[in-house]
Chain A
Amino acid sequence: MTEHVTASLGAYHDGELRGHRVHQVEAHLAECARCGAQLEQLRALTAVLGASPPAADLTSPERFVAQVGFRLRQRSERSTRGKALEIGWRLAPLGLLGAWAFLQAVFLVAGVTLLARHLGLGGEMLAGLGSAAPPGPTLAETLRLSGAGLNGLAQVVLYWLRDEGPMGWGVTLNLAAMAVISLLYGSWLASWWARRRRRQL
């Protein structure tokens, strides 16, 4: 008897064998009951699989097509929103840079103006700026007034924050704004890095 053709039976059953391989398998099947029985099992398996019912309770073709159309519209709207968000996200660093530049300009102009006023430069115009409204209590004064009973640490903080102190109101505000901008930029960098990692996976 020729060699068993177990490995080729599936391909023979599926009509995937060509040429002399078909004759080889058929010649073997004519004399081997074991391989013949295996082929019969494959045929029976195909029949059993084919007899199992298809999906039941399906929606009509018209409804199915309409539902696909609805999903496409939804996806299209979502994709437009997504694109707008994506552009906004990409431009965020530019916005932060703009905010930083704007704040620096404001603090620079304010600083120069105050210095000029302090030095008595700028004549009537800067003097007018100072006298236009009666000066109210400064932040440091307000804190001093309300912090009569404060402890030593608070006194030190108040000393640093007073208008003429090393950490005047303008400097403190500038530093706070820089901290917020740095925090936002750091978050943007972290999200950019996370997106990049996700794409690489």
Chain B
Amino acid sequence: MSRQAADAELELIAKAQGGDKAAFGELVRFHREGVVNVVYRMCGNSHLAEDAAQEAFVRAWQHLPNYQPRSAFRNWLYRIATHVALDALRRERGTVEVDELSVAAEEGGPEIEVVSKERGEHVRRAVLSLPPASRAVLVLREYEGLSYREIADTLGIPIGTVMSRLNYARGRLRESLASYLEVS
């Protein structure tokens, strides 16, 4: 994020903290994709992800007066989003359906596209099979590109724990996705 964009975001945050819902709407628009992505990678269902992402923004609005610009706003949002995703998973345990692979629509299309979709589905299921604590670290690192320090701040855990959870998650994925790693 450029210096100018960061300043603009700080301005929007200050306005939102003063009760300006339009400014908060701009923040929602700007961070929607990242927050939905984090929740989606955590729970594997796009409808649940959107619902949980909206809930994350509502919680962010409620806790906005407590936000200190010392930490990045994005990381603060991701922290809330991760908790909301875990809450949603706990609440919906056993009822959440992972989005079905829509291969049928692609029948007759290029074979490689079908293979690519199948692989995407396997990857998603492998990520979802990880314990939530390790999955959160992996999602923030691999999909959102956060540094270890940022992940530690976001999840409120020590850097050593970030590293051990990430190593564990990658070890598990290297086993479950071994066939894709060999051909890549």
Question: Would B49 and A52 count as touching, CB distance under 8 A?
Answer: no
Question: Would B21 and A55 count as touching, CB distance under 8 A?
Answer: no
Q: Of A44, A55, A71, A72, which contacts B40 at CB under 8 A?
A: A55
Q: Of B25, B62, B166, B177, which contacts A69 at CB under 8 A?
A: B25
CB distance from A19 to the nearest CB of B (A): 16
Q: How many residue pairs bridge A and B at CB < 8 Å?
A: 94
B14-54 vs A, CB cutoff 8 Å, 1 = contact: the mask equals 00000001000100110010001100100000100110011
Question: Would B177 and A45 count as touching, CB distance under 8 A?
Answer: yes
CB distance from A134 to the nearest CB of B (A): 67
CB distance from B84 to the nearest CB of A (A): 12
- Complex Cα distance, B141 from A42, in Å, reads 13
Chain B CB within 8 A of A91 CB = no
Chain A CB within 8 A of B112 CB = no
Chain A residue nearest to B166 (CB atoms) is: A10
Chain A CB within 8 A of B58 CB = yes
Chain B CB within 8 A of A182 CB = no
Q: List 24 A-B contacts (CB under 8 A).
A: A10-B167, A11-B163, A14-B166, A42-B170, A42-B174, A44-B180, A45-B170, A45-B177, A45-B181, A47-B184, A52-B124, A52-B127, A53-B117, A55-B37, A55-B40, A56-B46, A65-B25, A65-B28, A67-B54, A68-B28, A68-B57, A68-B58, A71-B55, A72-B61
- Complex Cα distance, B115 from A51, in Å, reads 12
Q: How large is the interface on B (under 10, 10 to 19, 20 to 34, 35 or more residues)?
A: 35 or more
Question: Would A49 and B123 count as touching, CB distance under 8 A?
Answer: yes
Chain B binding surface, main DSSP class: helix
Q: Of A14, A44, A61, A75, which contacts B181 at CB under 8 A?
A: A44
B56-74 vs A, CB cutoff 8 Å, 1 = contact: the mask equals 0110011000000000000
Question: Would B173 and A45 count as touching, CB distance under 8 A?
Answer: yes
Chain B residue nearest to A9 (CB atoms) is: B167
- Complex Cα distance, B25 from A71, in Å, reads 12
Q: Of A44, A54, A57, which contacts B37 at CB under 8 A?
A: A54
